[in-house]
Structure 1
Amino acid sequence: MGAVLFSAAAGLPVAAQAQRAIPETTDDVRRVPIPPVDRSHEPILVLTGGTLLDGKGGAPIANAVIVTQGDRIVAAGPAATTPVPANVARRIDATGLYILPGLIDLHVHFTQQRGADMGRYSDSPAAAAIRGTALADQLVTAGITAVRDVGTTDDVALRIKEAVDRGIIRGPRVMWSGRIISSTGGHGDEVTSTATGRQKPALGGAPHGVDGPWEWRVAVREQVRSLTDWIKLGAPADREELAAAIDEAHSLGVPVAIDSYGVYTDMAIEAGVDTLEHPLLMSDNAVPLMKKHGTAFVPTIGAFDNLLTGGYPTAGIPSGGFYYTHSRRFVIDQQDHLKRVTEAHRAGVPIGVGTDIPFENDVRYPDAYFRELDYLHQAGLSNAEVLASATRVGAQILRMGDKLGTIEPGKIADLLIVGGNPLETLTALRAVRYVVADGKVVVERP
């Protein structure tokens, strides 16, 4: 996308990948080479009897068999043609149930606030990590097995990612973006509270933003050095700053997301940004530009509806829109936002599912995810298209399409088993029976 071509198979610029094929890499966007993994002695899990929605776009497969070994899918298909190995460690009878790929949320913030009494307590990276650990459990329990954190406190999201990978906590697979890169005083560097307009004590000193193309390049390099999977930019910025950051990230094989609005959105698309995160005040040129440049769209429709219809009472944020924020000096028009999502969908722009809940995580997740699916349906996506956005398309946007998003041999064993057919009604996704994450059964319900 943009000036540098990427390979979904390796997550590296095509020119770099052509030098030498890498047989095994880490299961994240960074694709760091690792020694070959021997899974031949890992336990085998078999699912039988269920209806398989493999995410590839074909017809449902009744009476299916899925075989996993360790963290990989070994086989998937009709029972008549999919043999079951003899040395099975566990069988799950999914008769009457539906089996589909794990769901993907492309826009979360593990370090955001929760709790009706949060105003009584001081915040810190340690407190944020505790909150994030609780959110990770909420997400995977609902069948969301992969997420992208697009803005975190310190290295909290990275440590949650590592804790999940090591089996210390339950949670989804995590891709993270580190701190939002923004100009001084831009989105991600404002020093006023959205709730009160008061200056935040921790941010009243030296500037935290970066200014000028070279500083933006350095900021990207620092993020990549910190092991980020994605780069997250925030508007406003000038054209040269955006182009420098995106070019630098792509040269290092790392994709870029931006939280943008108005003219900055068009500038970012033209510079080759990979995903747009809830861009508001979109121009009439935005969707044609997205189609031309291959830009993906993560609209987080529910995040703005929350602001308009109820606010966040425990944070003291009233309904109606953005308050006290210099980079959000405009009115939210939800109908226009929905119209732009419809326009993007009709143009063939890839659309992913993201929630972006900044407060009250404890009561708004996982409902916010399923509400987002309903909003996409309202914008004109069919149930099958919504399901694709939540799985296969989401994986492709995430730069993990070769490892996630469908159920087929060689893919990571992230599976969701539900009690009804989500192609008929999206509410069936709420009826979680089993969740398999990284080949392990992490949720099972009667």
Structure 2
Amino acid sequence: MLAWLRRLMCVVPLIATTVVAQDGGPEARPIYNRDQWLPHSVPTSDDGLRIPVPADFNAPKGSFVLLGGRLFDGTGAPARPATIVVQGKSITAILNPGERNWPADAVVYDVTGKTVMPGLIDLHTHLTFVDTGDLTLYTNGNTSGAESVMRGLRRMAIHLQAGVTSVRDVASHGDSPFVLKRLQASGEIQGPRIFTAGQLITGIGGHGALHAMTPNYPEVPNGNLNSMVRIATGPDQWREAVRIQFAKGADLIKLASEYTQEEVTAAVDEAHSLGMPVTVDAETQYIDMAIKAGVDSIEHPLPRSDKAIALMAKRGVASVPTLVTYRIIQRNSGGYFGSTSRRFELNEDTIVAMARKMRQAKVKMGIGLDLIISSPEYMPGAYIDELESFTQIGFTKAEALVAATKTSAEILHMGDRLGTIETGKLADIIVVDGNPDEDFNAFRKVRTAFVNGRLMLQEGRIYTPAHEEVPLPVRK
């Protein structure tokens, strides 16, 4: 049903008019207000698309209770003793100690002495990124879709074991992220829920596409539909590239410099008209262009002016700094080499200084790691390092965890359903040995994880329900 609705929505003609603000504000139109025509009483899919669905869509049967734990709810309130009740995929009650009001047939988990909290979010993943140093496989797609999915499955498991229950995939191969998203949402595979951008959209020679040209470009961009990169030239092609990701089922759009002002404005305008937020991998003057266009978030701690930082704060443009990945690159390679989109000083001091400036300016900041090639092997230490980085730039430990949950859910445009443990929210919950709001190293002991109310991690191991036999048909 969802696929049919998506195809129906995609017959709408391309909108070629850009809304230009007269007050110096964003050039592209504001993001489509999905609540204007769909009130909260209408059930919709639990992703960025918000397609109408039956009330019980993707909801598991039954209920469970997390009894006797210490609740860090992600709202900013201090941890407290509480019991959490879940029915299907939703949190239905948060009880004080001693209260025992839950369904008689509920499965009860005794979590005494453990911390219960919302699942962590990683806002910058590439689930199918190649696991070799041959980055031409990243751009030209000379790797099979099946192989891409298998890489994604393994990385989803690594993230889940670290307590991550939602990932924002900001470029993966072909249709692989959409396959993974669909199977995870239905409960067929274990791992964090996926919000995907599809392919990275950039210009000829842009970030991620430096070596992507092929003899038959532009008839088949990059020569392979399984590429992570979609090359576009001119405003019309940038709009078309956005539409292609939308047709596949994208929750958001990811752009990368280099581009013209007209190109980035057209892409943002097209994405916003379809209800999708836009994030960019950009630097220096390209950040100025992205802010002028009206993007929703900017990845990485790359150079930008103080004026750009002030405009980000004023216009609500979020930041996902991904500090840990630059530390990994610097320490393994000695520098960020061979990229025309990184022609500036970039080291461990500059990235922290830039993140600190954004924090001081009150830019909204979420947690993303950008773990590529073999870097997922650093989990959960990589996530812990990013949390520690946030404390270096002015966050308290509790505030860093709020950034990893509540704020990151808001950057996903999912703050109404994810990021906190509150009645009515989706049951993406982790149980941790220790007090992670006091010591991030507790995330090395994530014992249990529920995603959408489904048990997916038990005793620190991926949990797969036993196969239920279907009786053979009876001879008539």
Report if TM-score (shorter chain) is over 0.5.
yes
Give structure 2 stretches of 5+ with no counterpart. Answer: 1-24, 222-230, 461-476
Which amino acid in 2 is paired with 1:54?
D
Where does 1:15-414 land on structure 2 (aligned, <5 Å)?
A: 17-21=35-39, 23-37=42-56, 42-62=61-81, 64-80=82-98, 82-114=99-131, 123-191=143-211, 203=214, 205-207=216-218, 208=221, 209-311=231-333, 319-323=334-338, 325-361=339-375, 363-414=377-428
- TM-score using structure 2 length: 0.83
Q: Deviations over 1:72-99 (max 9, x none)?
A: 111114224x542242331111111111
Distance 1:269 1:415 in 2: 34
Task: Return closer, same or farther for 1:17/1:66 CA change in 2, 3 Å cut-off.
Answer: closer
Normalising by structure 1, report the TM-score.
Answer: 0.88
Deviations, residues 5-44 of structure 1 (Å, cap 9, x unaligned)? 55xxxxxx23x63245261110101111112228999311
What's 1:196 paired with? none
Residues 65 and 92 of structure 1, relative CA distance in 2, 3 Å threshold: same
- 1:236 deviates by 0.9
Give the Cα separation in 2 of the matches to 1:282 and 1:303.
19
TM superposition shift of 1:129: 1.2
Deviation, structure 1 residue 249: 0.7
Residue 178 of structure 2 contacts residue 248 of structure 2 at CA under 8 Å; is this kept in 1? no
C-alpha contact 1:46 1:68 (8 A) present in aligned 2? yes
- What CA distance in whole angstroms lies between the structure 1 residues aligned with 2:156 and 2:441? 22
SS in 2 for 1:285: helix
Distance in 1 of aligned mates of 2:262 and 2:132 = 41
Alignment deviations for residues 169-205 of structure 1 (CA, whole Å, 9 cap, x no partner): 21100000011111112113221xxxxxxxx6x8454
Residue type at the aligned position of 1:111: T
Question: Using a 3 Å threshold, how does the CA distance of structure 1 residues 175 and 20 change in structure 2: closer, same or farther?
Answer: closer
- Does the CA contact (< 8 Å) of 1:46 and 1:84 recur in 2? no
Offset at 1:166?
Answer: 2.2
CA distance in structure 1 between the aligned counterparts of 2:366 and 2:291, rounded to whole angstroms = 17
Distance 1:383 1:126, change over 3 A: same
Q: Contact between 2:301 and 2:323, CA under 8 Å: does it hold in 1?
A: no
* Structure 1 residue 383: Cα displacement: 0.3
Distance of 1:40 and 1:261 partners within structure 2: 42
* Residue identity in the other structure for 2:366: G
Gaps of 5+ in 1: 7-12, 192-199, 312-318
Report % sequence identity: 38
Paired letter, 1:320: G
Range 232-241 or range 329-338, more displaced: 329-338
The Cα of 1:116 is off from its aligned counterpart by: 9.6
| Partner of residue 446, structure 2 | 432
What amino acid does structure 2 have at the position aligned with 1:67? V
Q: CA RMSD in A?
A: 2.4
Q: Distance in 1 between matches of 2:268 and 2:133?
A: 39
**Change in CA separation of 1:118 and 1:298 when aligned onto 2, cut-off 3 Å:** closer
Aligned residues: 419
Please, which moves more after superposition, 220-229 or 394-403? 220-229
**SS in structure 2 at match of 1:73:** strand
Q: Could you tell me how far 1:363 is from its partner in structure 2?
A: 2.1
Relative distance call for 1:118 and 1:89 in structure 2 (3 A) is: farther
CA contact (8 A) 2:427 2:452 kept: yes
CA pair 40-351 structure 1, distance change in 2 beyond 3 A: closer
Contact 2:277–2:296 (CA under 8 A) maintained in structure 1: yes
2: CA distance, partners of 1:117 / 1:221: 30
**Kept in 1: contact 2:123–2:169 (CA 8 A):** yes
Call closer, same or farther: CA 1:205–1:322 in 2, change over 3 Å: farther
Return the alpha-carbon distance in structure 2 between the equivalents of residues 116 and 338 of structure 1.
27
* Contact 2:300/2:320, CA 8 A, preserved across alignment: yes
CA distance in 2, matches of 1:357, 1:299: 13
Q: 1:276 to 1:119 in 2, by over 3 A?
A: closer
